[in-house]
Structure 1
């Protein structure tokens, strides 16, 4: 291996506040990175160099440590079994997230942002709980709105939604683009088609403009950001859960598991919680 840099090896030089931030810049095409604490500069390279570079003008060089941002990264790195993995959506090794990865559906590489398989976990939660996430990726989970924002902010990934019925049938709908803003933007949802699948579209081009969810802010029982005037959809007795409500919804996967009160999980295909055995929401970057 060479022990000197060349312009062909250098991917870029950037300002950086720490070696951890520099490491986060070293994505899949980068095999080697350098950080200079005297100038707070970061260099990323395609080749690995010998230790002769270690004393070059305050620069310190490191072999790349793989930091998977999402399940797609893990799949590309050779992980092909579905299950719970550690990912780093904000690109730094200091903020790991436990997430369920589906490596089989439509080619795999999907990161689950919502999963319900038992109904044992209460989804009637406040703003902070939806912000930070709750539950376990092994069973029922909401990964957290901050994490969803990190997963979608740059890649506008596809969204895969599925509902498993009591008879064992699984129906799905896939949207081509899915993005959620940050907390300052009230976790606003941006959704784009085409929408394809067996569930039918209940989020985007619905029968009623007042129930289309694209452009809607996230609401919880203690934070009313919906399109309805006079009441909070998230606190309504037959809803009680966080979601991107309009006035109010034709699709709502975080409803009360009790079948008597969960109305329109996905209308008109699934109109009552009595039919639901499980749900998932997953994202995968293009």
Structure 2
């Protein structure tokens, strides 16, 4: 038993020796210790202190911070010193303590009210939340919060008190159509303990679409990860530069390097590379557009002229219905029937074709109706109506042949 007690004593001594220095309130000449709103990290061998001084007019002030433990222990109260009348300001009390943030009271100050909320870091627009050294006392119904955000196109952190309800609100703000928003939250963490908001435990914001990425400050087209629902997460190519930005690219062709005369399985699962020519895949398209979305086609003719075709109501059915197309609400470009002509049709390819055999005849997969007015998946460099084309119903009835096509969703 004696041996065990010896081991415990040694362990306790070693544990005290390796204890990390405390963090302490740090202020000068304030009227109450509890009013201190800055903190500092002590060095090895230091403890927290609060000191009360009196000036020649009999007014008391408090100073707090870190002090070496031996200095604290050698303090003596000189309130009755014969030097009192000759000094402009002198110490009348010094209390030292060893715990984190323990010096918000002492020398006659009883500290903050027991009904307070937590102490929280409070800083704006820092590159790292741990750099904050300003603190505040929250109300009883508030908690500590830290938010990572885009501010003027840079990732920055802000900390402070938050209402509990704010912690439950959506993390993306400012969904104005004119996109003038300059700040969007990326990460938010709320906690209830004193000074717990020193970091934003990175919980990446779940971007449901390219539009969310765009509104959060991403303005360069490229590959982004989205989570359109609570189950599926995958990469897409986002067009961020097409006027209003934030478009999910479903199909992109520009040099004929990828064969589009493929099986139904290929069209279902997708093919090509997101940074090249590709078809995203009907499975992912259904996840993205099983309810109404906006669809846009950017089409460049072989003479270099760009055309745009857009509809406000696009969706497709699930696999059991062979991804049947629904499209209405023509907004601009050519005439409404250019793509609405196909509405109600299943997706077909050469190996899962409809009775009119358009998948076979057009050498591609698409929602064909009478072999379609719009054929963006047709072969490159083929003469006549089988090429990547649209029937120019606004003009003389001839087909316009395209060298670049992009089909996008928002």
The two structures have a TM-score, normalised by structure 2, of 0.50
> Contact (CA 8 Å) 1:233, 1:247: kept in 2 or not?
yes
Whichever of the two has the greater Rg, that structure is 2
- Pick aligned residue for 1:112 from 238, 242, 249: 249
> Contact (CA 8 Å) 1:179, 1:189: kept in 2 or not?
yes
Deviates more, 1:256-265 or 1:132-141: 256-265
Hey, what does 1:268 align to over in structure 2? 392
Q: Distance in 2 between matches of 1:85 and 1:6?
A: 33
Give the structure with the higher percent strand.
2
- Mapped pair 1:95 → 2:233: yes
Runs of 5+ consecutive residues of structure 2 not aligned to the other structure:
1-119, 121-142, 146-161, 174-186, 194-200
Cα 1:103–1:113, aligned 2, differ >3 Å: closer, same or farther?
A: same
Q: Following TM superposition, where does structure 1 have runs of at least 4 consecutive aligned residues deviating by more than 6 angstroms? A: 3-7
For the aligned residue pairs, the C-alpha RMSD in angstroms reads: 3.0
- Mapped pair 1:71 → 2:210: yes
Q: Distance in 1 between matches of 2:206 and 2:227?
A: 7
Cα 1:125–1:271, aligned 2, differ >3 Å: closer, same or farther?
A: farther
Cα 1:264–1:49, aligned 2, differ >3 Å: closer, same or farther?
A: closer
Specify the SS of the correspondent of 2:267.
helix
The two structures have a TM-score, normalised by structure 1, of 0.70
- Mapped pair 1:169 → 2:305: yes
- Pick aligned residue for 2:287 from 147, 150, 169: 150
Runs of 5+ consecutive residues of structure 1 not aligned to the other structure:
13-25, 30-45, 53-61, 206-211
Hey, what does 1:201 align to over in structure 2? 336
Hey, what does 1:219 align to over in structure 2? 348
Cα 1:95–1:267, aligned 2, differ >3 Å: closer, same or farther?
A: same
Q: CA deviation at 1:202?
A: 4.2
Q: CA deviation at 1:83?
A: 2.1
Hey, what does 1:258 align to over in structure 2? 381
> Contact (CA 8 Å) 1:264, 1:272: kept in 2 or not?
no
Higher RCO structure (Cα 8 Å, ≥6 apart): 1
Q: CA deviation at 1:88?
A: 2.9
Q: CA deviation at 1:175?
A: 0.5
Q: Distance in 2 between matches of 1:76 and 1:243?
A: 32
Deviations 1:103-155 (A, max 9, x none): 1223111111000011111101111111110011222110011111111124x
- Mapped pair 1:240 → 2:363: yes
Hey, what does 1:8 align to over in structure 2? 165
Specify the SS of the correspondent of 2:206.
coil
Cα 1:117–1:68, aligned 2, differ >3 Å: closer, same or farther?
A: same
Q: CA deviation at 1:3?
A: 6.5
Q: Distance in 1 between matches of 2:304 and 2:368?
A: 28
Deviations 1:254-284 (A, max 9, x none): 00113226257210269557x3211010011
Hey, what does 1:280 align to over in structure 2? 406
Q: Distance in 2 between matches of 1:91 and 1:165?
A: 40
**Number of residues paired by the alignment?**
231
Cα 1:108–1:47, aligned 2, differ >3 Å: closer, same or farther?
A: closer
- Mapped pair 1:140 → 2:265: no
Hey, what does 2:19 align to over in structure 1? none
